[in-house]
Structures are given as structure tokens and as C-alpha cells.
Amino acid sequence: MYQLIICWDAQNTKRENSIVDMKFENIKNLRKANKKNQQELADYLNIKQTTYSKYELGKINIPIGVFLKLADYYNVSVDYLLGRDNQHC
């Protein structure tokens, strides 16, 4: 799911098209299907659990390196994680 977010900077001026908020349902679904909690994945990725949670919720951008690690961890394609492909591999 893609959603355009309009952001306001410190001077409260509108910056259009600045952020795309993306929820990555496949990342959350894979975690649950593999009976893992967010802390376990955060430990694997060497990040805080709160950061991992924000990835799943689409609140912050996920670095490409994290996508690559998750794809390797779950043995799926990055396209699958992004929701661009319905097949796991």
C-alpha cells in the first residue's frame, strides 16, 4: 500500500511529495508465519525493536541493506518483501 504524505518543516511550510509512507505487510506476515517477534528480528538486524516496529508500520524508510538481510533471512526476493511479487522466491 502506498500513501502520499504531505510534510511540514520546522517553519510550518508545506513540502509536497516529500515522503511516501509504505506499509510492508509481507515483512510482518513473514515474521508472524515464522513465529518470530520483533525483538528477535531487531537483534538479527542489529537495530532497536522500536526501529523494527517503525519499519513494519511504514513510519520510517527501510534501508536497502535491511531489505537484503530480511530477504536472505526468509529466503524470499526483495520484490516479495516490497509487495511487488506474490511469489516467495
* Residue 83 placed within a domain: yes
Ramachandran category for residue 37: left, alpha or beta (phi over 0 → left; psi -120 to 50 → alpha)? beta
Rounded average pLDDT over 60-77: 95
CATH of the domain at 62: 1.10.260.40
pLDDT value of position 48: 98
Rounded average pLDDT over 60-71: 95
Alpha-carbon gap, residue 34 to 14, rounded angstroms: 42
Q: Of 33, 34, 65, which Cα lies nearest the Cα of 47? A: 65
- Reply yes or no on whether the pLDDT at 85 is more than 60: yes
pLDDT tens track for 3-62:
333 344 445 544 443 334 456 789 999 999 999 999 999 999 999 999 999 999 989 999
What's the domain range around 44?
Answer: 24-89
Q: Which residues of 27-52 are buried (b: 16+ CB within 10 A; e: fewer)?
A: beebbeeeeeebeebbeebeeeeeeb
* Residue 12 placed within a domain: no
The number of domains in the chain is 1
